[in-house]
Amino acid sequence: MQVMIGVIGGSGVYQIEGLEEAAWTRVETPWGRPSDDLLVGRIAGVKVAFLPRHGRGHAHSPSSLPYRANIDALKRIGCTDVLAVSAVGSLQEGFAPGDFVLVDQYIDRTFAREKSFFGEGLVAHVGLADPTCARLGERVAEAARQSGVRLHEGATYLTMEGPQFSTRAESLLYRQWGADVIGMTGMPEAKLAREAELCYASLAMVTDYDCWHPGHDAVDVAAVIATLSANAAKARACVAALPARLGATRQACPCGCDSALTHALMTAPDRRDPDLLARLDAVAGRVL
Mean of the per-residue pLDDT values of the chain: 94
pLDDT tens string 117-173: 999 999 999 999 999 999 999 999 999 999 999 999 999 999 999 999 999 999 999
Catalytic pick from 81, 210, 273, 281?
Answer: 210
Strands (E), 27-67: 38-43, 46-52
Residue 255 pLDDT greater than 90, yes or no: yes
Tell me how crowded residue 67 is: count the other CB atoms within 10 A of its CB.
25
**208 annotated active-site:** yes
Contact 88, 180 (CB under 8 A): no
CATH number of this structure's domain 4-86+95-156+186-204+230-279, picked from the four choices 3.30.70.270, 1.20.1530.20, 3.40.50.1580, 3.40.50.300: 3.40.50.1580
**Interatomic CA distance for residues 132 and 21, integer angstroms:** 30
Q: Residues 44, 45, 49, 50: what is their CA dihedral angle, to the nearest 10 degrees?
A: 20
Is residue 154 within 8 Å of residue 181, measured between CB atoms?
Answer: no
pLDDT per residue as tens digits for the range 176-216: 999 999 999 999 999 999 999 999 999 999 999 999 998 87
Label residue 45 exposed, middle or buried (CB < 10 Å: 0-12, 13-18, 19+).
exposed
CA distance 133 to 144: 16
The single residue of 72, 99, 104, 208 carrying the catalytic annotation is 208
Active site (annotated) includes residue 217: no
pLDDT value at 46 more than 80: yes
Give the ranges where the chain is alpha helix by DSSP (H).
Answer: 67-77, 134-146, 168-176, 189-195, 221-246, 274-279
Q: What is the pLDDT of residues 85-117, one digit of tens each?
A: 999 999 999 999 999 999 999 999 999 999 999
pTM: 0.95
Q: What is the pLDDT of residue 222?
A: 74
The pLDDT score that the predictor gives to residue 42 is 95
